[in-house]
Chain A
Amino acid sequence: LAPWIPVVGLEIHAQISSNSKLFSGSQVQFAAPPNSLVSFFDASLPGTLPVLNRRCVEAAVMTGLALNCSINKKSLFDRKHYFYADLPAGYQITQQRVPIAVNGSLSYSLCIDNKMSQMVTKTVRIKQIQLEQDSGKSLHDDTRSQTLVDLNRAGVGLMEVVMEPDMCCGEEAAAAVRELQLILQTLGSSQAVMAEGQLRVDANVSVHHLGEPYGVRTEVKNINSIRFLAKAIDYEIQRQIEELENGGTILNETRAFDSKLGCTVPMRDKEGKQDYRFMPEPNLPPLILYDAKSLPANVNHQQVINIDWIHERLPDLPSVKREKLVEQYGILPEHSFTLLNEDGLAEFFESVVKQTQMKPKKVIGWILKDLLSYLKQHSLTVKESPVSSFLLADLLNLLEKKEISSTAAKQVFAELWKGEGKTPLEIVKEQKLELLQDQKELEQICQAVIDGQENEVIMMVPG
């Protein structure tokens, strides 16, 4: 049997981190009383017009630059029409013809065979990034056969990031999304918390045989975590392979991932191919962006966005941060990955290194093995750690000065974890964990032990 080649592409919607919405001045906030963050424009009342939020454009430009895209100096807005209760206007304002950024790339790393020591770098092409509106939220009340609609989310700015089908499995997709999440959080353009709907991922999956054209693809939606993303994609790949090997066909349909059952099911309300009747948004002129060369003289700075100005102020991206950590502290690349993977862990590590004489190469072991495993066991974030960087540095100094053994140090660490406010030195004294440095004292103890075990000594000496 010829091997199947799975093909995976992603459409990612990231909510822009801004105070107000994309085209109106109502607030962006998770969890507020229903319909309290809704302006007349968001509710699509007649006579209202869209007004573009500058911050949203900057967020999209930053993201485009971070993903190595070409920024389109002229981009356009369009209307995408469809009917749904949470889309009061009957259309979404998006960028279908000419989006704000195109042709980028994202590099991400994978562990081979689950071994962190063997990492491989992969790249996925970014087709485009476009600005668009989010829709409201529908709460389905099946018992009363009705849908409750909350428009608080309607009109919130989104960046849709389209990744080309360069991935081949759930693991690759998950790693790519994780890296994108870290980049967005580093830029601050989106907080990208999947659990709060700030990052939504739809996967496009198909399979084919080598040398043959791509197979029919399905779209998988309703994926709520990175873990489920990998599961959903791998399930769908298997489902398609089984279907085709049994002589069936794949329908070009939209399927929802059921996390409880771990499978994908066809979605209702998605009959056939949708005709969105795209048309230019008549109320918005083209969006023009400038760079240092094209910047017109005598302009109102508030009305102008300079791509070069934004580029100069981009923070270090995760890949750069990792390189710097490896270079500066002599730690391994896989260590830098773990450091950046936990919010605040890299900062904690650097803080400890500053406060201790122990070499970073040794400190990293304490951070990644001891601290991190305790945090995971107790489901705590780095910020919630009962052991501060100060206390840990203090403990490591005692170890470094050989005042305690490493076994004793682990004991002290366990005690510190209780968060009772004692210092490492206090714990060492309390539990009598000091290493004896005095040669004479050591001899006395050894002699006492030997004296107490006379019989065993007599048996050993001839041997």
Chain B
Amino acid sequence: QKVSVEVLDHLEHLALVDFRDSEGVERLQKAIQFADQLHEVNTDGMEPMDSVLEDRCLYLREDDVTEGNCTKELLENAREKVEEYFVAPPGNIPLPKLEERETFLQGS
């Protein structure tokens, strides 16, 4: 099945990706088809594996202060700063609605 325009639009909002052109969407379709192969395996009565790390031990760290104090270094990455704060727009800038965006999805 093809992925609907609504779902693609929803994904563009959520992940801020731009499918750009039909090639991008085609690639997504192929990725979904590839993953769908998993459905061919009979998993009745099996516990799902959600991480290849499931047999590994989760390392526990002691509660000591070992990092931080590198304000200057961190702020070097900031395009804009005020005193020692990062500067961001006043709120999330919402992605415009489908009709108002320059996206090839419009034509679909």
Is B92 positioned at the interface, with any CB of A under 8 Å from its CB?
yes
Q: Are B58 and A287 in contact (CB under 8 A)?
A: yes
Is A285 positioned at the interface, with any CB of B under 8 Å from its CB?
yes
Is B1 positioned at the interface, with any CB of A under 8 Å from its CB?
no
A297–B66 CA distance with the chains assembled, in angstroms: 31
Main secondary structure of the interface of A (DSSP, over half): loop
Is B34 positioned at the interface, with any CB of A under 8 Å from its CB?
no
Inter-chain CB contacts under 8 Å: number: 143
Q: Which residues of B74-88 are within 8 A (CB) of A?
A: 74-75, 77, 82-88
Is A332 positioned at the interface, with any CB of B under 8 Å from its CB?
no
Q: Which residues of B49-93 are within 8 A (CB) of A?
A: 50-51, 53-71, 74-75, 77, 82-92
Is B10 positioned at the interface, with any CB of A under 8 Å from its CB?
yes
Main secondary structure of the interface of B (DSSP, over half): loop
Is A122 positioned at the interface, with any CB of B under 8 Å from its CB?
no
Q: Which single residue of chain B is at the shortest CB-CB distance from A55? A: B63
A38–B87 CA distance with the chains assembled, in angstroms: 16
**Interface residue count on the B side (C-beta < 8 Å):** 40
Residue from B68, B85, B86, B87 in contact with A39 in the complex, judged by beta carbons closer than 8 Å: B68
A35 surroundings in chain B (CB, below 8 A): 71, 74-75, 84-86
Is A432 positioned at the interface, with any CB of B under 8 Å from its CB?
no
A150 surroundings in chain B (CB, below 8 A): 85-86
**Interface residue count on the A side (C-beta < 8 Å):** 57
Residue from A24, A33, A56, A76 in contact with B71 in the complex, judged by beta carbons closer than 8 Å: A33
28 contacts between A and B (CB under 8 A): A20-B66, A27-B68, A33-B71, A37-B68, A38-B70, A39-B67, A45-B77, A51-B61, A52-B61, A54-B61, A83-B16, A83-B92, A146-B82, A147-B89, A148-B82, A149-B85, A149-B86, A149-B87, A151-B74, A269-B91, A277-B15, A282-B51, A285-B55, A286-B51, A286-B53, A288-B58, A302-B60, A303-B59
